[in-house]
Amino acid sequence: MIELRNLSFGYRRNKLLYEGLSLTLVPGSIYGLLGPNGAGKSTLLHLLSGLLYPKSGTIRAGLYNPSDRKPAFLEDLFLVPEEFYVPPVRIREFITSNASFYPRFDRAQMASYMDEFGLADDQKLNELSYGQKKKVLIGFGLSTNTAVLLMDEPTNGLDIPSKSQFRRLVAGAVDERRTVVISTHQVRDLEALIDPVIILAANPNGTMGIGLNAGMETITERLWFGLTPELEAGSQLLYSERAVGGYAVVAENRTAEPNRLDLERLFNAVQANPARISQLLSANTNLSRI
């Protein structure tokens, strides 16, 4: 389990990005981390991996403080970054050089991923396209079988068939001991994969907080996503936008009507009306107050 308690962090001395942020991540889940541009999604992943240090508060990943960067912690965590450098070596040389740092690395698993992605181990990393390089890192990260797997915008650079492969492979690589956190702004790519959903939103003081942290089932129990031909005067909608045939809306689900979550509109609703959505979901979720 990963716990953040009263975390504060900022890149500048007099301006905090996070203040008093608390969050709990449990194994066996694929968390989707969403937020506006500049909200600090990558920063949060770097804090979880020990690449950045909080100004105050605590982070615990099992028995470890990520900031200590102890070998036992590092060998059980892998981060697929959004921006990366790959050396001018063949894929097999990259695997050989790095696999020894991860005790549960599975070479047969990695070989199956490379075959799935249509890559050969004698190809040079620096001669691959950006999307192909990303596939190598994704396959390697999955093959480490670490307890914590963090992915920052993993579907960037992937074509439509590759995004489908990604969803299937990630879903198949998660077990009860593994915690996966995927930061993304391409919500429709991952709608069928991530659960629970974490959405960052602005606090009144300008820092970022957890606007929503809830499972899909809880969200659709409390919120209704649908289409209406007209907006009724005085209706208390949480969010609405023009759509073909009328208005796409997010509203309170007062009658527990079954409905299908729209992740993009949920994101917009949290940004537009974070306090009310926090109130509606707080009975079943650990939410920061915003």
- Domain membership flag for residue 206: no
pLDDT in tens, 145-154: 999 999 999 9
pLDDT in tens, 83-107: 999 999 999 999 999 999 999 999 9
Asked if residue 235 has pLDDT above 90, the reply is no
pTM to 2 decimal places: 0.91
Shared domain check, 181 and 58: yes
Task: Quickly state the pLDDT bin for 256 (edges 50, 70, 90).
Answer: confident
Tokens 């079954």 belong to residue = 258
Task: Quickly state the pLDDT bin for 287 (edges 50, 70, 90).
Answer: very low
Shared domain check, 130 and 226: no
pLDDT in tens, 112-132: 999 999 999 999 999 999 999
Shared domain check, 84 and 22: yes
Shared domain check, 224 and 103: no
pLDDT in tens, 1-15: 999 999 999 998 889
**What is the reported pLDDT for 33?**
97
Shared domain check, 50 and 131: yes
Does a cis peptide bond (omega within 30 degrees of 0) precede residue 196?
Answer: yes
**What is the reported pLDDT for 289?**
31
Asked if residue 159 has pLDDT above 50, the reply is yes
- Domain membership flag for residue 201: no
**What is the reported pLDDT for 290?**
33
Asked if residue 282 has pLDDT above 90, the reply is no
- Domain membership flag for residue 229: yes
Asked if residue 192 has pLDDT above 90, the reply is no
Shared domain check, 186 and 261: no
Shared domain check, 181 and 98: yes
Contacts made by residues 34-39, CB under 8 angstroms, sequence distance 24+: 34/183, 34/184, 34/185, 34/187, 34/197, 34/198, 34/199, 34/200, 34/263, 34/267, 35/199, 35/200, 35/201, 35/208, 36/200, 36/202, 36/271, 37/185, 39/200, 39/201, 39/202, 39/208
**What is the reported pLDDT for 234?**
64
Shared domain check, 44 and 120: yes
Asked if residue 28 has pLDDT above 90, the reply is yes
- Domain membership flag for residue 208: no
Tokens 């391409």 belong to residue = 186
- Domain membership flag for residue 289: no
Domain count, the chain: 2
Shared domain check, 97 and 11: yes
Shared domain check, 156 and 63: yes
Shared domain check, 180 and 227: no
- Rounded Cα distance between 122 and 115, Å, is 12
- Average pLDDT over the chain, rounded to whole? 92
Shared domain check, 103 and 27: yes
Range of the domain at 118: 2-195
Share of residues in the chain with pLDDT > 70 (%): 97
**Which of 106-110, 177-181, 241-245 is the least confident region?**
241-245
- Domain membership flag for residue 204: no
CATH number for the domain spanning 49: value is: 3.40.50.300
**What is the reported pLDDT for 49?**
96
- Domain membership flag for residue 27: yes
- Domain membership flag for residue 147: yes
